[in-house]
Structure 1
Amino acid sequence: MSEVLRAEGVDLVRDGRPILREVSLTVRAGEHWALLGANGAGKSTLLGLLGAVTHPSRGTVEVLGSRLGRVDLRELRAQVGHVNPRHPLSSPLTVRDVVLTGVTNSIELLPRWRPSPEQEERVEALTATLGLAALRDARWPTLSQGQRGRTLIARALMPEPRLLLLDEPATGLDLPGREQLIEALEELRSARPRLATVLVTHHLEELPSGTTHAVLLRDGRVLASGPVDEVLTGDQIGKCFDLPLTLQRHDGRWSVRIRRTA
Structure 2
Amino acid sequence: MQQRVIWGAIALAIFLPFLLMGGLPFQFFVGLLAMIGVAEMLRMKRLEFFSFEGVLAMLAAFVLTVPLDNYLSFLPVDASLSVYSLIVFLILAGTVLSSTYSFDDATYPIAASFYVGIGFHNLVTARMDGLDKVILALFIVWATDIGAYMIGRQFGKHKLLPKVSPNKTIEGSLGGILAAVLVGAAFMLFDKSVYAPHSFLVMLVLIILFSIFGQFGDLVESAIKRYFGVKDSGKLIPGHGGILDRFDSMIFVFPIMHLFGLF
Q: Does TM, scored on the shorter chain, surpass 0.5? A: no
Please state which structure has a larger fraction of its residues in helix: 2
Q: TM-score normalized by structure 1?
A: 0.30
Q: TM-score normalized by structure 2?
A: 0.30
Higher relative contact order (CA 8 A, sep 6+): 1
